[in-house]
Amino acid sequence: MKNDHISEVTAAPKRLRMAPDARREQILDTAQKLFFIRGWDQVTIADVLTEVGISKGGFYHHFAAKEDLLDGVVKRFTIEALAAAQAARDATSGDALQRFNAFIAETSRWKAEQGPQMKFFFDVMLRPGNDVLFGRITAAANAAAMPVLLEMIIQGVDEGVFEVPDIGLVGETIMALTQGRRAVMEAALQAAASGDLEAATARLSQRMVSEGALIDRMLGLPDGSVRLVNPSEIRLMLRAIVDG
């Protein structure tokens, strides 16, 4: 009787071919997952390559550096927040101011539900010596949000609700407020981490009240028109970041 010896050769799995846009999104999906689980410093490009299963050449075809991954993650996170806020705005009846406030309220609510993600971003942004990364994060977020903000201002002007000297300049100034919030946010998070959540909430709330007053003036509105602060949402967000 003839014995047939069958040898099994285990071939290395072939890398799935993907369209460039799909591959880029896959890389970002992987980087985002690793960043949120491990933190910025504990993730390398090599980690991302291993997880995705691509070569260095495949990575550098889409991204020039690890920091570019951060830009992409920030942009998509901001777009998700904007989508939720836009839905709330679209569902709100009334004038441009009421829709603007609905947009702000939903943005705050959405962020309060993203504890681990918000913790990651603030860990990167507020760490001493991370000024460059702070700038990249705010720039990426602002680039995604600016068109939406300008659209809301234009609608308010068209409806006669807002009165502004220069729409573009007002938009730029409102965005710049978020960059100036860094020191206050850092102090608030330190207070929350030490157990004084109420002091942390009060500190950040006061900053947001002041920013709201400035935005009222820039949009030509009576004081108290723009509701930029919700202490309960701020408290939830701070708790989520500290506990995340």
pLDDT band of residue 11 (cuts 50, 70, 90) is: very low
The domains of the chain are located at: 16-64, 66-243
In CATH terms, 16-64 corresponds, of 1.10.1040.10, 1.10.1740.10, 1.10.10.60, 1.10.10.10, to 1.10.10.60
> Hey, which bits of the chain come out as E strands?
none
Report the C-alpha gap between 180 and 185 in whole angstroms: 10
Query: pTM of the entire structure?
Result: 0.81
Q: Distance between CA atoms of 227 and 143, rounded to whole angstroms? A: 23
Predicted confidence (pLDDT) at residue 134 exceeds the cutoff of 70: yes
Q: Is the pLDDT of residue 2 over 80?
A: no
pLDDT at 1: 46
pLDDT for 101 beyond 70 = yes
Other beta carbons within 10 angstroms of residue 240's beta carbon come to: 18
Instruction: State both tokens at 215.
Output: 């935005």
> b/e string for 176-189 if b means 16 or more Cβ within 10 A?
ebeeebeebbebbb
Q: Does 104 score more than 90 pLDDT?
A: yes
> What are the CA-CA distances from residue 51 to residues 32, 75, 154, 243 (Å)?
12, 22, 44, 27
- Architecture per CATH, domain 66-243, reads as Orthogonal Bundle (1.10)
Mean pLDDT of 207-223: 96
pLDDT at 103: 95
139 CB neighbour count, 10 Å cutoff: 14
Query: Which of the four pLDDT bands, split at 50, 70 and 90, describes residue 228?
Result: confident
* pLDDT one-digit tens code per residue, 62-73: 999 999 999 999
Residues 15-29, mean pLDDT to the nearest whole number: 85
